[in-house]
Amino acid sequence: MDGTRPPAPGRRLAASRLHRSGRDPHRVLLVGESALLDAAGTAPVAGLLANGVAARTGRGLDLDVAWDLGPVLRAVTRSTESWRLWRYEAVVVLARSSASDGVVGWRRERIRRIAEQVLPALARSSSVLLVRIGDPSSHDGRWDGPAVSSITVPADGTAALGPGAADAVADRVAALLAAADRAGRAHGGATARERRDVPQPEAERQRAAARAVEALGGMTPHLERVVLLARNTFGVPFAQVNLLDRGGIRTLAFVGATGDDAEQPICTITVRGSGPTIIADTWEDHRLDGNPHVHAAAHPVRFYAAHPIESLDGYRIGTLCVFDLVPHDPADVDPVVLRDLAQLAEAEISALLD
């Protein structure tokens, strides 16, 4: 489920997201110049890193990838909060070593700026790893610290990182994630995952959803296979991909029933958090007391399961949901599979918005 693609000409910032299946996913931000991230147009670095980290942690992974250090530096230097960097357990920055390839002064200045300005700001909310690509003998370790660490690895031909170097970086990232988990538990559980799980500012979430609604318009045939797969996977008659805009639903794909123009949609519960919502029997869930789809409809929804769909900047703009008119055993729904299906929908939406 890789949504990675080369930066389009004229765009201020090229970004993408890679998903790896698994429970309780980490979120990591990978930043670097396009030449380092997109060798031969296949983004091998991001894929190698995503595979390596997920294999080492045994958990899911959402890897956000941003090309071009210039715009990233300007955005982050202005305000780390504007990027909501507390979402990430770790941030990995790729840069060429100043000792490699006869690097000119402007590039050395860029690396210095990353280390001296941006990385300490990032480190206030995320563990940071600076990966220097070039001559390993140039690594002096002066930026290493409790939250900002560095590693220098050799380049491999035209690719930024060969498999061996990628393994070394994945080892370091996995160690940072483990340390972040331990630190969160030691401080009362304030992990990045838990910070992501709080309700988002509704005005900001609505703006992100409205942008998607305006760009996508109505039904989206590309998503039909996702809702069909969701219906068949969970053995239910109804499945939808919805955007939640201005208190209502814009259905992008459905099987069984459309949710367009529904008032008080059940999906508003799902976008309050970052994880899955599984309700075995809606009549037993007090969050839905008075909901017309549960208590006033001719054919009330009794079973509901959904996972949020995010915009690339991390706002929960919609859901993939499945539901039925009879209760289900919650064990019938694997939350990892539900997340994987939501990410298929998310990838399709991101491609259409690009």
Residue 284, pLDDT score: 96
**Residue 183, token pair as written in the block:** 């630190």
Residue 344, pLDDT score: 95
Residue 128, pLDDT score: 85
Residue 104, pLDDT score: 47
Residue 4, pLDDT score: 40
Distance CA 166, CA 172 (A): 10
Specify the pTM: 0.84
116 has a pLDDT exceeding 90: no
Of 92, 339, 156, 319, nearest to 234 by C-alpha is: 339
What's the mean pLDDT when you consider all of the chain? Answer: 80
Tell me the average pLDDT across 235-262: 86
Q: How far is CA 273 from the centre of its chain?
A: 14
Domain boundary assignment for the chain: 14-196, 202-353
Residue 110, pLDDT score: 58
| CATH superfamily ID and name for 202-353 | GAF domain (3.30.450.40)
Instruction: Give every CB contact of residue 15 below 8 A, 6+ residues apart in sequence.
Output: 64, 65, 66, 67, 312
Percent of the chain at pLDDT exceeding 70:
73
14-196: CATH architecture: 3-Layer(aba) Sandwich (3.40)
User: Could you give the angle at the alpha carbon of 89 between the alpha carbons of 85 and 2, nearest 5°?
Assistant: 85
184 has a pLDDT exceeding 90: no
281 has a pLDDT exceeding 90: yes
Question: What are the strands, taking DSSP E only, across the chain?
Answer: 14-20, 26-32, 61-67, 90-96, 127-133, 148-153, 238-245, 248-255, 277-279, 303-310, 316-324
Per-residue pLDDT of 147-164, as tens digits, reads: 578 888 887 655 567 778
Residue 238 to residues 232, 233, 259, 321, 335: CA-CA distances in angstroms?
Answer: 10, 11, 10, 8, 17
Whether 174 contacts 57, CB under 8 Å: yes
Per-residue pLDDT of 38-80, as tens digits, reads: 544 445 788 999 999 999 999 999 999 887 655 555 655 555 4
Residue 188, pLDDT score: 54
